[in-house]
Structure 1
């Protein structure tokens, strides 16, 4: 399949590309939940589409900020996998599977420890099944960081990263400007409510320097990450968190075939997330499309029944017919 993406005339806007998919009804596939108990007494939930057979590849998905198995992009890939007979599951970040996690900490953009636990679990139970991975937005940044950290020790054989905020500081600033503030406001309210819900069940005052009332005043990612995310996860403030967790520096160290897909008009990002040639490992294929928004990439159909590029492109890369698709760095 061609890696050229072209939106229809009615979906040229980055905001239509970003918002419409979340408003489009997508069927929910029947999933089976598996709970993993973690070494620190917390848990994460895996939702399975099917159990793998023989040497069948396992497709492991990582959702974006406050996403889940109910996210439109996750459901679409599940349905595409189902129609093609692929085995797939989703790794829920802590607290994102419909139930608050047990500990004060949650998840963050560089949280690769839980990723490794899920992967080791899969390898232990299905040692002969190769693992493919797909990461969206925050989950894509986490996946990028994991692949670059682990290098040849990665338990993932092939990967696709979509709309990842690979330079967190720049993305946080972008979301404070113009229409992008709408997305920030929506996501921040979800994060605020989750912290408030936790405060009602456990003592957080020794971990974060704010009260329940003050949380409502943390209306930017920069402020929220400085007062909540960083201290909860052992970082020395927001700048330290953004520096350590951003995926961009890890692209050069990836040793497994990986496709990274970005849209130049993504309202969550700036050109700071776009890697230069020297920042890309030879094993990374990079697609920068002029349009597509954030996790959008509507390529046809109608506003009532849009057709999407991502699922076809992801599965085409994970199951290539030619090895030449692995090392193309495209500016589309």
Structure 2
């Protein structure tokens, strides 16, 4: 595939990031929503997208922070996977499907148990069918961490993964978004407005677990992770959560092909946090860092017919892995 060429009509990383998030065309591949009950009493809502043939390989897609299975980038990647002859399943992390989940906990950047549950169910449903994992931003951190922490202890059906705009160092990314400047404020408030609302709903249902006043006072990612993410999910502090869950520390353990796409001008992922040396030392990992692209952006083409290079690259990579998996059967 050709190298990424950013659209000239989008001047800079912020313009690319914002356009890709709020103004891009929205593919609408037909989906079937399913609710999967979980062993801990909670549930996952997933959207299924049928492939052109029974038993077609499946691309599992994980969305970013406060996204969902209906996020434009998720639907864009799903549409491309279907065009490559794959089926797809788009996860909604707990609390992200439009219905609050049942338990006090919800989701975070290092929660890989639910991805493992999805893999387990898909394998049991049709043994031998190739699966490829993909994720954007937070969802990419989850996928990369999952592949790295499991190493060789993965179902044979999992052929590998493709991730986009991963915050490989969660502490540095939190500090970047919490930093000064207009655009950092825009990104921070967009996420925190939704996160505070969800956390306050949880505080109303589980007042013994969360302090509503502390949640209302949160104005930074560090504050939210300290007041909500850490205590709800068993971490002593935001710093412990960031340290234990950053995907960068798991890259060395990846034992299936992993494509990681990043932009050096990403406003949320500092360029010096990319795991360049770990990827170089691991033959299973291909880290592609483009000079431009923003965060989950990578817009190319004309204003009225844009294309999204990272999604095209990820879909082609997933289809290649799936075909190799089928030919090996």
The answer to whether TM tops 0.5 is yes
Q: In structure 2, what is the Cα distance between the partners aligned to 1:16 and 1:311?
A: 18
Q: CA deviation at 1:45?
A: 1.1
Match of 1:270 in 2: 270
Q: In structure 1, what is the Cα distance between the partners aligned to 2:264 and 2:51?
A: 37
Q: CA deviation at 1:55?
A: 4.7
Match of 1:180 in 2: 184
Calculate the TM-score normalised by the size of structure 2.
0.91
Per-residue CA distance 1:68-103 (angstroms, 9 max, x = gap): 122110111122223333201111100111100001
Cα RMSD after superposing both structures: 1.7
Match of 1:165 in 2: 167
Q: Which moved more, 1:144-153 or 1:52-61?
A: 52-61
Distance 1:86 1:278, change over 3 A: closer
Do structure 1's residue 284 and structure 2's residue 288 form an aligned pair?
Answer: no
Q: In structure 2, what is the Cα distance between the partners aligned to 1:54 and 1:75?
A: 21
Q: CA deviation at 1:308?
A: 1.6
Do structure 1's residue 42 and structure 2's residue 42 form an aligned pair?
Answer: yes
Q: CA deviation at 1:29?
A: 2.0
Q: Which runs of 5+ in 1 are unaligned?
A: 324-332
Q: For 1:41, what is the secondary structure of its paired residue?
A: coil
Distance 1:130 1:82, change over 3 A: closer
Distance 1:26 1:206, change over 3 A: same
Q: In structure 2, what is the Cα distance between the partners aligned to 1:282 and 1:243?
A: 25
Q: Which moved more, 1:51-60 or 1:310-319?
A: 51-60
Per-residue CA distance 1:201-221 (angstroms, 9 max, x = gap): x12x3223x22x331211111
Match of 2:154 in 1: 154
Q: CA deviation at 1:269?
A: 1.5
Q: CA deviation at 1:176?
A: 1.5
How many residues are treated as equivalent by the alignment?
316
Per-residue CA distance 1:273-320 (angstroms, 9 max, x = gap): 211324542100010011000000011121x43222122211221233
Match of 1:217 in 2: 217
Q: Is the 8 A contact 1:24 1:305 kept in 2?
A: no
Match of 1:306 in 2: 306
Q: In structure 2, what is the Cα distance between the partners aligned to 1:184 and 1:246?
A: 19
Q: Which moved more, 1:187-196 or 1:270-279?
A: 270-279
Match of 1:327 in 2: none
Q: For 1:11, what is the secondary structure of its paired residue?
A: coil
Q: Is the 8 A contact 1:14 1:292 kept in 2?
A: yes
Per-residue CA distance 1:242-288 (angstroms, 9 max, x = gap): 01010001011101011000001111111242113245421000100
Q: Which runs of 5+ in 2 are unaligned?
A: 324-329
Q: Is the 8 A contact 1:69 1:75 kept in 2?
A: yes
Calculate the TM-score normalised by the size of structure 1.
0.91
Match of 2:12 in 1: 13
Q: CA deviation at 1:30?
A: 1.7
